[in-house]
Amino acid sequence: MSGEAKRIEESGTAVSSEDRTAHDKFLQDQLVKTSRTFALAIPLLPQPTAREVTVAYLLFRIADTFEDASVLWQRPQQIAALDQFVELVREPSVEKAEELAAAWLADPPTDHSGYLELLGNTPRVFEAYLGFSPSAREIIERHTIRTAQGMASVVERTGDDGVLRLADIQDLRDYCYIVAGIVGELLTDLFILDSAALGPVADYLSERAALFGEGLQLVNILKDSSSDATEGRNYLPAPAERSEIFALARRDLEAAAEYTLAVQKAGGPDGVVLFTGLPLELAWATLDRVERDGPGAKLSRPEVFGIHTRLKAAVKAGRPAVTIQ
């Protein structure tokens, strides 16, 4: 029995190939409309991991929409929506998802068309989620709830002017853990669940999972610091030197490179090597560009394509996928 067939059997949910294909097309469409980066990276993963990671990302995106809603919503409304979302993840129901989606859209938290469409499709996301095995659902539930509750705590400390101010480097790291470190832990748990080859390096990967997420988030924060500030998000602590944050990001990306190389050396799926290696290599290049040219600097599409092509060639040839800089 294949790994995916076994997973469907364990879930207790009969899913036809036609229904599975329709679900996958819907999920990919939602990815494209909400995250260009994840739409590029997730299809690199093998099944069932790709499907599990897609649904996990979409659930996190729903929670993130509420956290980012300070322009259109007041804090109590943001926190109430996050609390409702936590209860829905804890006790998933398509019917309850329909009820909540209608309520959220009656007073939209955002004007982003992709995010609004995703909110309206919350019931379909949960329908896909309910088709997973108990093991996969437990991993996604646990980490999604932790993140949503952490986001609520971030909203609670946002100033009356709608601006989040972080006090110091540790405060910044705590924030990054909520929004990205937990994501790294969730992905790692799913990778280990779905690939027996990663069992021997499970602890090694878990030790670096949160740092991987932190590093990617720090690069985004440094890149977007100017635009974030104009939108009421001030993630760079005033007392901290920017050079400290660049140095922290580089240390984190070194841990991320160790993570990716460990997956490859252990004989993990090529798709997992590509999925972890691509954002890492893009982050290294982006960090260099931002350090040289300042906030707002980013890679061109040809540069992204070139990095993607080089990474795929290295994995296919059995060469180390990434380097520790």
Q: Report the pLDDT value the prediction gives residue 161, as an integer from 0 to 100.
A: 74
Write out pLDDT tens, residues 45-104. Answer: 999 999 999 999 999 999 999 999 988 999 999 999 999 999 999 999 999 999 999 999
CB-based contacts of 174, cutoff 8 Å, min separation 6: none
**Which of 127, 159, 191 marks a domain boundary?**
159
> Residues 156-181: what's their mean pLDDT?
90
**Which of 159, 194, 224 marks a domain boundary?**
159
Helices and strands (H, E) in the chain, number of each type: 15, 2
> Residues 222-238: what's their mean pLDDT?
80
For the beta carbon of residue 84, count every other beta carbon within 10 angstroms: 17
Q: Report the pLDDT value the prediction gives residue 2, as an integer from 0 to 100.
A: 39
Q: How many domains does the chain have?
A: 2
Q: Is the pLDDT reported for residue 18 higher than 90?
A: no
Please report, for the domain that includes residue 190, its CATH number: 1.10.600.10
Task: Answer yes or no: do 241 and 211 share one domain.
Answer: yes
Q: Report the pLDDT value the prediction gives residue 16, as an integer from 0 to 100.
A: 64
Omega within 30 of 0 (cis) for the link into 48: yes
Q: Report the pLDDT value the prediction gives residue 230, as an integer from 0 to 100.
A: 66
Q: Report the pLDDT value the prediction gives residue 14, as an integer from 0 to 100.
A: 52
Write out pLDDT tens, residues 191-228. Answer: 999 999 999 999 999 999 999 999 999 999 999 987 77
Distance CA 320, CA 280 (A): 13
Q: Which two tokens stand for residue 302?
A: 């040809």
Structural domain range at position 136: 1-159
CA 133 to chain CA mean position, Å:
21
Q: Give the orientation angle of helix 270-293 with respect to helix 49-67, to 10 degrees.
A: 40
3-state SS assignment for residue 286: helix
